[in-house]
Amino acid sequence: MFSRIKSRFGDIDTIKTLCLLAEKHALADQLRAPGAEHFLLAALDLPEDTARQAFERIGADASTLRQAIERQYSDALCSLGVDPKVAKASADEPLPSKLGAYNAAPSGKEVMLALAANRREHGPLLGAHVVAVVAGQQHGVASRALRVMGIDANALKSSAIEIAAGERRAPNLQAHS
Amino acid sequence: MIEANALPESNQPEDALAAVVALRRLADTLERQAVRAALDQGWSWARIAQALGVSKQAAHKRLSEVAASTSST
């Protein structure tokens, strides 16, 4: 009983951290509301490191995700004959943070809703859970960025689920100490 | 200038939709930059709104953060 309550409070802390980090990534990306790709970047920032492990398990380098997100924008602009440097030159500073209610983009809301819906199926919320949810999205910026990285989204999703399950069986004491 | 024949084929909706998302983000960034420059040159919100083809209220609501960042610099 106590462990469930503790886990619930731990989840609230993780969700709060995740949302703040995702917003920071969105603002740096010139967007007001964080999308699934920003939640994925935020998951990689979590200290328990399971998100990065999910990528590593399939031989992918999670540190290239930000470049892949930018690349999928550049590729799309190039396909129209627009020089992507135009966008880069004008997007040098993050947007200022805005006071008021937290607002995620639809793809970000989808991530939050899926995490909430799956809450009973897992122990403490981990970055790997976020990776599994985002990898399950078929379309959108995050999905395109994973393709740019040459990642099979289904393999990443399976990897993330396995990492999260393994973490539940044997918590990573080093990461949590 | 974007050539019409450079647009992604309509039978490739994934590419066409990705292009729309990228253009929208680029347009939003350019809009903030242009509004910041206009405010720096003393333009009023009414004038900016007219140039953007939107109401003054809509321009201010959507872009007031630009004013805040301009006045803080």
Q: For residue A96, is it within any domain?
A: no
Q: What is the dihedral of CA A63, A141, A17, A44, to 10 degrees?
A: -20
Q: Tens of pLDDT along chain A (177 residues)?
A: 556 656 666 778 899 999 999 999 999 998 989 999 999 999 999 999 999 999 999 999 999 999 999 999 999 999 888 887 776 655 567 887 877 788 899 999 999 999 999 877 777 899 999 999 999 999 999 999 999 999 999 999 999 999 999 876 766 544 443
Domain that holds residue B33: 12-72
A77 touches chain B (CB under 8 A): yes
- A31: closest chain B residue by CA: B25
**Residue A151 structure tokens:** 């990642």
Residue A142 within any structural domain of the chain: yes
- Position A63, amino acid: S
Evaluate whether A148 touches A76 at the Cβ level (below 8 Å). Answer: no
Tally of domains within chain B: 1
The total of structural domains in chain A comes to 1
The reply to whether B23 falls in a domain is yes
| pTM listed for this prediction | 0.85
The SS3 of residue A146 is helix
Q: What 3-state class would DSSP assign to A101?
A: coil
Q: Is the pLDDT of residue B46 over 70?
A: yes
Q: Is residue A168 part of a domain?
A: yes
Tokens 């859970």 map to which residue? A129
Q: Which residues of B touch A72 (CB under 8 A)?
A: 18, 22
Domain for residue B6, yes or no?
no
Is A147 a member of any domain? yes
Round the average pLDDT of chain B to a whole number and report it.
Answer: 84
In-domain check, residue A2: no
List all residues 6 or more positions away from B16 whose beta carbon is below 8 Å from its beta carbon.
Answer: B7, B8, B9, B10
Query: pLDDT value at position A174?
Result: 43
CA A58 – CA A136 distance, rounded (Å): 16
Chain B CB contacts of A96 below 8 Å: 65, 68-69
- Is A80 within 8 Å of chain B by CB? yes
Q: What angle do CA A106, A107, A112 make, to 5 degrees?
A: 95
Q: For A100, which DSSP code?
A: S
Nearest Cβ partner for B68 among A81, A96, A139: A96
pLDDT of residue B69: 67
A79: buried, middle or exposed (CB in 10 Å: 19+, 13-18, 0-12)? middle
- Token pair for A143: 């999905």
Question: Is residue A125 in a domain?
Answer: yes
Residue A77's domain comprises 9-89+104-176
CATH code: domain of residue A149: 1.10.1780.10
CA B66 – CA A160 distance, rounded (Å): 40
Whether residue B6 is predicted with pLDDT greater than 70 in this model: the reply is: no
Q: Is A55 on the interface with B (CB under 8 A)?
A: no
pLDDT above 90 as % of chain A: 65
Domain annotation covers residue A169 = yes
CB contact set of A145 (below 8 Å; sequence gap of 6+): A37, A65, A68, A69, A71, A72
Candidate from B8, B26, B69 with C-beta closest to A79: B8
